[in-house]
Amino acid sequence: MESTTTNVKAFGTPAADATLAEMTIQRRAVTATDIEIDILFCGVCHSDLHTARNDWGGTIYPAVPGHEIVGKVTSVGSAVTKLKVGDHAAVGCLVDSCKVCNSCKQDLEQYCLNGWVGTYNGKDKHLGNQTFGGYSEKIVVDEHFVLKVPSNLDLAATAPLLCAGITTWSPLRHWKVGKDSKVAVVGLGGLGHMAIKLAKGLGANVTLFSRSPGKEKDAKALGADAVIISTDAEQMASARGAFDLIIDTVPYIHDLNPYVDTLNINGTLVVVGYLGGLEPILNTVPMILGRKAVAGSLIGGIAETQEMLDFCGEHNIVSTIELIGMQDINDTYERMLKSDVRYRFVIDMASLKSE
C-alpha cells in the first residue's frame, strides 16, 4: 500500500440512478515505473454510460468513468524511460495486467488470463479500491500502459482513438483488412465512425449499416463508400454475400441474422458493441452453408494501440468530435441514448479545473 496519496477533483456518480457530479478521489504517489498525467481531454464512450448506470452489473460506486485520456506528463518515476515531464501522453482502457501470462506475453493484455485492470471500475492493485477513470484532473499510470501521442494530431480529437479507435482497429488488423477488403460497419456512433475512417485508411471499400437515414450524408463525408438503411428489407437483400468483415458496434440487443446474410463466404461478423445473450437466436444454417463466422473482440493491447496511434499520425486520422464541458456530461449521456452522437463527445478538462 502507498504511504501518500493526492486528492484530485473528479466527476462521478454515487449510484446507478444518480447523476454525475463533482467529487474528490485519491491518486497514488508516483512509483519508480509510474507516469503522472495532467488530463487535458477525455472522450465519452458508451461504456462510460453503461458503467455509470450499472447496465452490465458489477459497477462499484462511486464510479468515475473515462478511458479516452490525453494529457501532459507532470511527473515520472526514477525508472521511467518512455516519456518525460512536459511530453503529451495518452491512456486508454487498460492500466494494469499481470504481464506474465500467455496473453500478456503476446502483447494481448486485454485478454490477460489473471484479469486486466480497467482504467475505471477495475481493481486498483496499489490502493485496493476500484480504479477511477479520466473524468478527473490527474491520473497516475504504470509507464507500460501509457501511450505516446503523434505530435501532428489535434489533442482533443486524438482522445477517442484510445478506445473507439483501438476497438475498431484491432479487428481490422486481426482479420487482415487491406485494399481488396469489403468492410461494413453497423451503427454510426463513436466506434462506428472510427471504424469507417480506419478501414478507409487501410484501403478497404466501406459500407455503413445505420437505422438513421439522417446520417447518410455524414457517413459519406467520413469516408463511407455506401450506406444501407438496416430497417429497409430491400436494401438489406441487395447486400447479400457482400462483405468480408462486418464490425457491429450497436450497444443493445438486436438481431444479428440479417447481417450474417450480408457476409461473403469465409466472412466474419465481429461484435464489439453488445455484451450478452442473443435474441432472436443466431441461426447456424447460413454460417455452415457459407463457412461464415460470428466473433467478438475486446479493445486492443498496448503495442497494437501504439501501432494504431502511429498509423493515425501518418495518415492524419482523428475523431470527429463535439467538445463539451464536464458539467454537460449528464445531458450528453441522454443524447447518447438517443443516438445523437456526432461522432464523439470529448470533455475539455479545463472545465473541471476551473470549477
Q: b/e map of 269-296 (b: 16 or more CB within 10 Å)?
A: bbbbbbeeeeeeeeeeeebeebebebee
The reply to whether 45 sits near ligand NAP by the rule CB under 6 A is: yes
User: Which string of x and - marks every residue 57-96 that binds ligand NAP (by CB under 6 A)?
Assistant: ----------------------------------------
Segment near ligand NAP (CB under 6 A); pick from 70-78, 119-127, 196-204, 333-341: 333-341
**Residue 250 binding partner per list Zn ion, ligand NAP, none, with a CB distance cut-off of 5 to 8 Å that depends on partner kind:** ligand NAP
Query: In 3D, which of 171, 166, 187 has the Cα closest to residue 319?
Result: 166
Shortest separation between residue 126's beta carbon and Zn ion, angstroms: 23
Q: In the complex with Zn ion, which residue's Cβ is closer, 141 or 260?
A: 141
Contact 200, 323 (CB under 8 A): no
The label of the residue with cell 453503461 reads 50
Q: Is the dihedral of CA 237, 238, 241, 242 positive or negative?
A: negative
Nearer of residues 50 and 174 to ligand NAP, judged by Cβ: 50
339 binds ligand NAP (CB under 6 A): yes
**β-pair type (243-248, 182-186):** parallel
Q: Name the site residues for Zn ion (rule: CB under 5 A).
A: 45, 47, 163
Q: From Zn ion, ligand NAP, none, which one binds at residue 219 (CB under 5 to 8 Å depending on kind)?
A: none
- Measure the CA–CA gap between 78 and 143, rounded to whole angstroms: 11
The residue behind cell 468492410 is 183
Does position 220 interact with ligand NAP (CB under 6 A)? The reply is: no
- Tell me which residue of 43, 97, 39 sits closest to 66, measured CA to CA: 43
Among 27, 28, 46, 88, binds ligand NAP (CB under 6 A): 46
Q: Does 254 bind ligand NAP (CB under 6 A)?
A: yes
Sign of torsion over alpha carbons 26, 112, 168, 189: negative
Binding string, residues 152-171; x marks residues near ligand NAP by CB under 6 A? -----------xx--x----
| Chosen residue from 336, 347, 349, 352 binding ligand NAP by CB under 6 A | 336
Query: Quick check: 119 and 131 in contact, CB under 8 A?
Result: yes
Q: Which is nearer to ligand NAP, 45 or 108 (CB)?
A: 45
Q: Does 210 bind ligand NAP (CB under 6 A)?
A: yes
**DSSP letter string over 31-72?**
-TTEEEEEEEEEEE-HHHHHHHTTTTS-PPSSB-----EEEE
Report the distance separating Cα 154 and Cα 131, nearest Å. 27
Q: Which of 99, 80, 4 is nearest to 35 (CA)?
A: 80
Q: Minimal distance in Å, beta carbon 210 to Zn ion?
A: 20
Residue 346 binding ligand NAP, by CB under 6 A: no
Which one of 213, 217, 232, 252 is in contact with ligand NAP (CB under 6 A)? Answer: 252
**Which residue has the closest beta carbon to ligand NAP?**
189
How would you classify residue 203: left for phi > 0, otherwise alpha for psi between -120 and 50, otherwise beta?
A: left
What is the nearest approach in angstroms of ligand NAP to the Cβ of residue 351? 21
Q: How far is CA 294 from the centre of its chain?
A: 20
Q: Establish if 191 lies at the interface with ligand NAP (CB under 6 A).
A: yes
Measured from the CB atom, the residue of 137 and 187 that comes closer to ligand NAP is 187
Report what 119 binds from ligand NAP, Zn ion, none; CB cut-off 5-8 Å by kind. none
187 binds ligand NAP (CB under 6 A): yes
